[in-house]
């Protein structure tokens, strides 16, 4: 027995990855055992090998795809334009007009024409050098035009020989626009000849065509329409958005003239002109002045200037003003490309302004008071426009929303610092006023940080994300009101339309939590409701204190459609369950935004719903009048002036006070539980009982 045991210990254990040897001898103990154990193990290995072979057969060389041409763009558009939403759709226009702007900045084009057609096509024309049409040396059977339009990473902007600075970097912009267009038509006028070529979904429809002589023409025209297979059947360019994008190019470079034309059919209910020509010699100063029209400036002058030659590497242009009664903003550009997410050039601007103000504080013996000032304090209430030109800039992503070039910070800081010092020294009285304004902002910030209890301004600090509170300047509850709006788009329009002295804006992201069906844990963890409670400052439930309520009126302002009504219902349910005393005190209201805009000639009226629209058409307009009727998509689509006139101006608006009749307290409680509670069968029962009363036009199907 001992001998047998010794032999078992010395038996070599099989390697998991080693094939069993046929010549290997089994141990004696195995020979004496009729039912040998190794057989099942061999069977298991066989089954495992069989399964492995089957899995490997499902993943072989034939499963490896190689996408060629523009197919990667159509398969993964988000990688190139950030998605397939409205912003991505308009990015196609930006890519095309940026090429024309590069020609203008290089000194080869003096005008750019933008034309929007009723059939969804948009065309961009310039009088630059024109895209090359001769045969490409690497692709002998293709013109340079075809290579540029159909090949990723093909272009003339990889070095500085053709363009010293440019918005294009990777040679993918216009080819991406071509790939994602249902049809694109290109006309090139070079050497007094006109060439044409058409593409559909990125593929050429024939070779380059010589269309004959064109002695009085030069440049490039690109006409295209986005592909509904990519962006959806309802996808179309927004005239207002394209108009603003085109106009901004004229502001950014005074050496180019932008010519605008849009089909009248696309402008119904819009204030955008059918034709316009833009040329701004003062550039960013004109742009900023138009944005701050009507605002009260802390310093009466706009700080504006330029360093270097526009379009050349290292050139910087800026325009900055500080407002006492408006929210601040900063719009920055690199090589005329908008950078909404900022970047290193914005960091250089902030540093230059902060250092300049602190140096001025030292000169006027206010260094101690200004010690706590940060760049954020300097930027509060400031309206800034910044444009920088960098050779071969680095952006984060193809959509170029953020500049990452490290050298840009130093370029901007050095360009602005000395002129800012001279600007402050040139008018010391106004400079001191600006310094006092910034120091007050810093002291307010520090005071809010130190306050233990919720005070008037604490919510501004605590509600930065996701729903940023734009507070009013009135420090008393009496006379102040807060508008609770849905989404950042509506919040942006409301901030522009509000009376900054008495009206605060709190945007919430989409539909909030249904508190009637949620538990206490979910309620406590919900960030949007926490932001709302924090902003009001009065507490909830048994901890509600009227004296701590920081606004006289709490106004729910949502879109005038079914989704807006749903969000309003969720908010009312929240206040009914968590702050019922707010309703009892008569402090909760519903705004009544219009759904329709009616116009005939110079006469304009707004209707709340279809019934109100029919009433206005009969009472306010002649029976034979051809009234233009436009429907608002939402608060975010309304112009700020329209939103103010119809919904926010206390002298013109209509508010609905939310009340609870004493006789209906129990019935209301049952209805809220039935419709908003967690029992779906109760809602289904309600629908069955009341279906016969529903009108077809009121259903959202």
| Domain edges within the chain | 71-278, 284-450
Q: Is the pLDDT of residue 265 over 80?
A: yes
Higher per-residue pLDDT: 516 or 361: 361
Radius of gyration over every alpha carbon of the chain, rounded to an integer in angstroms: 34
User: In the prediction, which pLDDT does 26 show?
Assistant: 44
User: In the prediction, which pLDDT does 236 show?
Assistant: 93
User: In the prediction, which pLDDT does 463 show?
Assistant: 40
Q: Is the pLDDT of residue 676 over 80?
A: yes
Number of residues that this document lists for the chain: 701
Nearest-angstrom CA–CA distance, 410 and 700:
56
User: By mean pLDDT, which of 33-42, 155-164, 315-324, 442-451 is the weakest?
Assistant: 33-42
Task: Express each pLDDT in 548-605 by its tens digit.
Answer: 898 999 999 988 888 888 889 989 999 988 899 999 999 999 999 988 889 988 888 9
Q: Is the pLDDT of residue 270 over 70?
A: yes
Asked if residues 508 and 535 have their Cβ atoms less than 8 Å apart, the reply is no
User: In the prediction, which pLDDT does 46 show?
Assistant: 59
User: In the prediction, which pLDDT does 454 show?
Assistant: 45
Nearest-angstrom CA–CA distance, 134 and 315:
34
Q: State the fold for domain 71-278.
A: Heat Shock Protein 90 (3.30.565)
Average pLDDT, the chain: 82
Is the pTM of the predicted complex or chain greater than 0.75?
no
User: In the prediction, which pLDDT does 116 show?
Assistant: 96
User: In the prediction, which pLDDT does 14 show?
Assistant: 46
Residues 6+ apart with CB under 8 A from 250: 256, 257, 258, 278, 279, 280
Asked if residues 479 and 552 have their Cβ atoms less than 8 Å apart, the reply is yes
User: In the prediction, which pLDDT does 520 show?
Assistant: 61
Indicate the Cα dihedral angle 567, 571, 577, 581, nearest 10°. -150
User: In the prediction, which pLDDT does 398 show?
Assistant: 61
User: In the prediction, which pLDDT does 585 show?
Assistant: 92
172 pLDDT band (50/70/90 cuts)?
Answer: low
User: In the prediction, which pLDDT does 464 show?
Assistant: 42
Q: Which one, of 553, 591, 534, lies nearest residue 477 by Cα?
A: 553
Inter-axis angle of helices 284-291 and 239-252, nearest 10: 130
User: By mean pLDDT, which of 268-277, 447-456, 478-487 is the weakest?
Assistant: 447-456
460 pLDDT band (50/70/90 cuts)?
Answer: very low
Q: Kindly state the helix (H) or strand (E) to which residue 186 belongs, with its residue range.
A: strand 181-190
> Would you please indicate which residues are annotated as catalytic (active-site) residues?
486, 559, 561, 563
Nearest-angstrom CA–CA distance, 58 and 61:
10
Task: Express each pLDDT in 22-77 by its tens digit.
Answer: 444 444 444 444 444 555 555 556 556 666 667 787 788 877 777 777 888 888 88
- The average pLDDT across 76-84 equals 86
Residues 6+ apart with CB under 8 A from 220: 99, 100, 125, 126, 128, 130, 131, 186, 187, 188, 189
Buried b or exposed e, range 342-368, using 16+ CB within 10 angstroms? bbbbbbbbbbbbbbbbbbbbeeeebee
| CATH no., domain 284-450 | 3.30.230.10
Q: Is the pLDDT of residue 458 over 50?
A: no
């Amino acid at each position: 027995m001992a001998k047998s045991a010794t032999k078992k210990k010395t038996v070599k254990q099989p390697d998991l990855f080693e094939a069993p040897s046929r010549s290997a001898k089994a141990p004696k103990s195995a020979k004496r055992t009729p039912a040998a154990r190794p057989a099942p193990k061999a069977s298991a290995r066989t089954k495992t090998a069989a399964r492995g072979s089957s899995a490997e057969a499902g993943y072989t060389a034939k499963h490896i795809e190689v996408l060629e041409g523009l197919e990667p763009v159509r398969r993964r558009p988000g990688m190139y334009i950030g998605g397939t939403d409205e912003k991505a759709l308009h990015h196609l226009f930006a890519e095309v007009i940026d090429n024309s702007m590069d020609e203008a900045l290089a000194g080869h084009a003096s005008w750019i024409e933008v034309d929007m057609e009723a059939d969804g096509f948009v065309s961009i024309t310039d009088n630059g050098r024109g895209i090359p049409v001769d045969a490409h040396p690497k692709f002998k059977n293709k013109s340079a035009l075809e290579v540029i339009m159909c090949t990723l990473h093909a272009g003339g902007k990889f070095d500085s020989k053709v363009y010293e600075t440019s918005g294009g970097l990777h040679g993918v912009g216009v080819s991406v626009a071509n790939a994602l267009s249902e049809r694109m038509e290109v006309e090139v006028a070079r050497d007094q000849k006109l060439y044409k070529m058409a593409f559909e979904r990125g593929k050429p429809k024939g070779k380059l065509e010589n269309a004959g002589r064109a002695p009085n023409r030069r440049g490039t025209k690109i006409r295209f329409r986005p592909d509904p297979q990519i962006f959806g059947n309802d996808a179309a360019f927004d005239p207002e958005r394209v108009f603003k994008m085109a106009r901004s190019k004229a502001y950014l470079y005074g050496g180019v003239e932008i010519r605008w034309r849009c089909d009248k059919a696309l402008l119904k209910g819009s204030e955008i002109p059918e034709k316009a020509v833009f040329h701004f010699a003062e550039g960013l100063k004109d742009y900023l002045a138009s944005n701050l029209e009507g605002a009260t400036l802390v310093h009466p002058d706009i700080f504006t200037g330029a360093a270097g030659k526009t379009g050349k590497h290292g050139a910087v242009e800026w325009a900055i003003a500080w407002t006492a009664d408006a929210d601040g903003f900063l719009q920055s550009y690199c090589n005329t490309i908008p950078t909404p997410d900022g970047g290193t050039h914005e960091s250089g601007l902030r540093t230059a302004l902060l250092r300049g103000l602190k140096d001025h504080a030292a000169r006027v013996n206010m260094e101690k008071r200004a010690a706590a000032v940060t760049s954020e304090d300097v930027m509060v209430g400031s309206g800034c426009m910044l444009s920088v030109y960098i050779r071969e800039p680095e952006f984060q992503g193809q959509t170029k929303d953020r500049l990452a070039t490290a050298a840009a910070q130093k370029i901007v800081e050095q360009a602005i610092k000395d002129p800012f010092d001279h600007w402050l020294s040139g008018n010391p009285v106004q400079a001191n006023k600006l310094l006092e304004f910034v120091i007050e902002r810093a002291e307010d910030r520090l005071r809010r940080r130190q306050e233990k209890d919720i005070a008037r301004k604490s919510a501004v600090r605590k509600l930065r994300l996701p729903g940023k509170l734009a507070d009013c300047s009135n420090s008393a509850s009496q006379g102040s009101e807060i508008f609770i709006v849905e989404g950042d788009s509506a919040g942006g329009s409301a901030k522009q339309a509000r009376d900054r002295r008495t009206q605060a804006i709190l945007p919430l992201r989409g539909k909030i939590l249904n508190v009637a069906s949620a538990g206490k844990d979910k309620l406590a963890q919900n960030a949007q409701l926490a932001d709302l409670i924090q902003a009001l400052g009065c507490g909830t439930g048994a901890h509600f204190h009227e004296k701590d309520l920081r606004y006289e009126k709490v106004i729910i302002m949502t879109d005038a459609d079914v989704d807006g009504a749903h969000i309003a219902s969720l908010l009312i349910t929240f206040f009914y369950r968590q702050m019922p005393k707010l309703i009892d005190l008569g402090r909760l209201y519903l705004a009544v935004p219009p759904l329709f805009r009616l116009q005939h000639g110079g006469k304009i009226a707004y209707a709340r719903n279809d019934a109100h629209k029919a009433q206005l058409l009969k009472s306010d307009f002649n029976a034979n009048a051809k009234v233009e009727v436009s429907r608002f998509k939402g608060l975010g689509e309304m112009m700020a002036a329209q939103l103010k006139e119809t919904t926010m101006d206390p002298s013109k608006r209509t508010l609905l006070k939310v009340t609870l009749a004493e006789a209906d307290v129990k019935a209301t409680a049952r209805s809220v539980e039935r419709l908003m509670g967690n029992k779906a069968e109760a809602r289904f029962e309600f629908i069955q009982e009341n279906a016969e009363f529903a009108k077809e036009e009121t259903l959202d199907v």
